[in-house]
Amino acid sequence: MKNQSVEVNFIMQGMRQRRRRWLFVTTLLVILAVVLSSAMLLLGNTIYPVHIVVRTLLGEEISGANFAVNTIRLPRMLAGVFAGFAFGVGGYVFQTMLRNPLANPNILGITSGSSVAAVFCITVLHTSNSTISIAAVIGGLATVIVMYLLARGGTFSIGRIIIIGIAIQAMLDAVISFLLLKSAQQDIAGAIRWLGGSLNGSKMSELPPLIIVVLLFTPIIIIFGKQLGILELGEQMASSLGVSTDRLRIILIVSSVFMIAIATATTGPIAFVSFLAGPIANRLVGVSSSNILPAGLVGVNLVLIADLIGQFAFEYRFPVGVITGLLGAPYLIYLLIRMNRKGEL
């Protein structure tokens, strides 16, 4: 009896330590996001002091500052925050649900599905931004449906889904190249700029769909995401514990795809954010915790840091997607080498 009491106390102590670590890391990530968001508003061709920015945000008319802060910097910052959060959460959900760090929306072709739909609207249909957002969601969901239909077999196979997803991504990237080759010259520049992943030209009028979708689906993902750890135990174990695995996957996939697709439609496919956010959050907090919120915050910080680097660290300004690509590509190579050595590929 005494041994059982000691064991229970040890388990409870471990849970309290993990909870404190989660809270500490999440708080630091929030503080970093606030600092970076503030820097996005303060820095530019003209550096404004804090009190000027605050007065401008409160609606006071200040010559020059109103346009720079409210029209250019604020939409750029909000797009980075909400898109980064969406990419971070979506990537974490897919990686955890499929128990593989390669299983993120970029690798599986979901982002490419949204991109094909958006590029088609930009270069062929010349539609409005709201139509592009709707098309991006449909493209992402259609990609997931096709992937699951092709991967369907006697049992659920993570490896089969990943291989098919990679093949779908390659095919969709070819479709994007075809659309660009057949597009009118005046449409190509806008499509390529969008495909690079950029916060340039963000407008307040374009942000409500992204903000609404993130605020709507994040609580759903957090609630149902508590069972993600059970899915990691395997299909049979999760079913034996009373988890409806198919229902859980559908809810998490649909919610994540909506967030990723709307974020992609707003900023373009910002490379590797969904790939990096989950592993970084797990490393900071520990894999035994539900890291949906930390992963989203890591995504926010990655996008904001990359955008600040792209704006001010070089002689020429680079889109945020170029910087995140430079950060993510070495990690992808490292991950592939490590998985190959472990025999996981």
pLDDT grade for 156, boundaries at 50, 70 and 90: low
pLDDT band at 247 (very low <50, low <70, confident <90, very high): confident
The pLDDT score that the predictor gives to residue 9 is: 61
Highest mean pLDDT among 9-13, 30-34, 94-98, 121-125: 30-34
Could you identify the residue written with the tokens 């709507």? 216
Please indicate whether residue 157 or residue 206 has the higher confidence score (pLDDT).
Answer: 206
Q: What is the pLDDT of residue 161?
A: 80
Are the beta carbons of 141 and 265 closer than 8 angstroms? Answer: no
- Among 237-241, 271-275, 340-344, where is mean pLDDT lowest? 340-344
Dihedral of CA atoms 102, 107, 109, 115 in degrees, nearest 10, equals: 140
Task: Tell me the pLDDT band of 141, cut-offs 50, 70 and 90.
Answer: confident
Between 298 and 234, name the one with better pLDDT: 298
Amino acid at 77: M
Place of tokens 């750029």: 76
Mean pLDDT of the chain: 84
Higher pLDDT, 251 or 244: 251
Report if pTM > 0.85. Answer: yes
Q: Looking at the domain 80-341, which fold is it? A: ABC transporter involved in vitamin B12 uptake, BtuC (1.10.3470)
pLDDT at 45 over 80: yes
On the question of pLDDT at 157 being above 70, the answer is no
Provide the token pair at 193.
């700029």
pLDDT in the model for residue 218: 95
165-203 per-position pLDDT tens digit: 888 988 999 999 998 888 877 778 778 877 888 888 888
Q: Which of 251, 192, 207 lies closest to 70 in space, CA to CA?
A: 207
Q: What is the pLDDT of residues 104-135, one digit of tens each?
A: 887 788 888 888 998 898 888 888 777 888 88
For the stretch 198-235, pLDDT in tens is 888 888 988 999 999 999 999 999 998 888 777 666 66
Please say if the pLDDT value at position 335 is more than 80: no
Q: How far is the CA of 246 from the CAs of 157, 238, 258, 263, 310, in angstroms?
A: 13, 11, 18, 26, 41
**How far is 253 from 96, CA to CA, in rounded Å?**
12
Would the pLDDT of 3 be above 60?
A: no
Confidence label for 340 from pLDDT (cuts 50, 70 and 90): low
**Domain residue ranges of the chain, discontinuous segments joined by +:** 80-341
Instruction: Label residue 311 exposed, middle or buried (CB < 10 Å: 0-12, 13-18, 19+).
Output: buried
**How far does Cα 11 stand from its chain's mean position?**
33
For residues 301 and 304, give the distance between their C-alpha atoms in angstroms, rounded to a whole number: 5
Cα angle, residue 268 at apex, residues 81 and 161 outer, rounded to 5°: 100
Query: Which residues does 36 contact at the CB level (< 8 Å), separation at least 6?
Result: 300, 301, 304, 305, 308
> CA torsion sign, 318 to 324 to 33 to 223?
positive
Q: In Å, what is the CA distance from 235 to each residue of 143, 157, 229, 241, 339?
A: 23, 10, 12, 10, 22
Long-range contacts formed by 32-40: CB under 8 A, 24+ apart: 32/301, 33/81, 33/297, 33/300, 33/301, 33/304, 36/300, 36/301, 36/304, 36/305, 36/308, 37/77, 37/81, 37/304, 39/304, 39/308, 40/73, 40/76, 40/77, 40/80, 40/304, 40/307, 40/308
Give me the pLDDT at residue 124, please: 86
